Amino acid sequence: MNNFESIKFSCLTFADNPFPHFCSTSILQKSIESKLFDWFEHTGEWNLTKTEFYEQYEFSFLNVMLPKDLQCLISQKTVAIIEKEFKNVFNAKSFELVGVTAHKLTNGQRIGVHNDFIQGEETHRLVIHINPTWTDSNGGFLILFNSENSEDISKIIMPMNNSAFGFEISNRSHHAVSKIYDFSRYSIVYTFKEG
């Protein structure tokens, strides 16, 4: 059991535009991914959050009692694996975990263009998509922009099940999530501060 790794970066592709980011597939071990999806579907932990640019359900993994089979997602070993990959990909020295948050977008919800930039407080994020039944018609695309202009689209990323999107937060990391149609779009967001 000591050799068990819940998370693994595979088929990683990196790009520097419109801001430094990477995509990876098959990131969680299959048994973990399916248990996580089942828990997301049935847990009562979700709380609705509304801001100027989004409305979504969320909760912190660090403030709830995770099922035993999912506690590995916030273990020191898992966080260390993510930090190691971030160091390699983004050429950084060290990281401190700031938070681990579950996100759920449901029918009609979306996230407007934003950059997540808070000077010095958060520097990198890893988003893991948990959407086994997702299809194009459900929407919820992750959209990257060249600027804060919502028409200045650089890239569209599908929230494929068990895929990951890691990025460097800056004043140019503009992104959004398109409207959801007849679906619940789940993700986990690991947030780090570079040391």
* pLDDT for residue 3: 46
Confidence at 142, pLDDT banded by 50, 70, 90: very high
Q: Provide the mean pLDDT of the chain.
A: 95
Q: For the sheet containing 153-157, what is the strand order?
A: 111-114, 175-177, 142-145, 153-157
Fold of the CATH domain 70-189: Jelly Rolls (2.60.120)
Is the overall model pTM greater than 0.85, yes or no? yes
Residue 121: closest CA among 153, 150, 99: 99
Structural domain boundaries in the chain: 70-189
Confidence at 119, pLDDT banded by 50, 70, 90: confident
Question: How far is it, in rounded angstroms, from Cα 103 to Cα 188?
Answer: 6
Are 128 and 164 a contacting pair, CB within 8 Å?
yes
Q: pLDDT tens digit string along 7-41?
A: 999 889 999 999 999 999 999 999 999 999 999 99
Question: How far is it, in rounded angstroms, from Cα 9 to Cα 89?
Answer: 11
* pLDDT for residue 1: 37
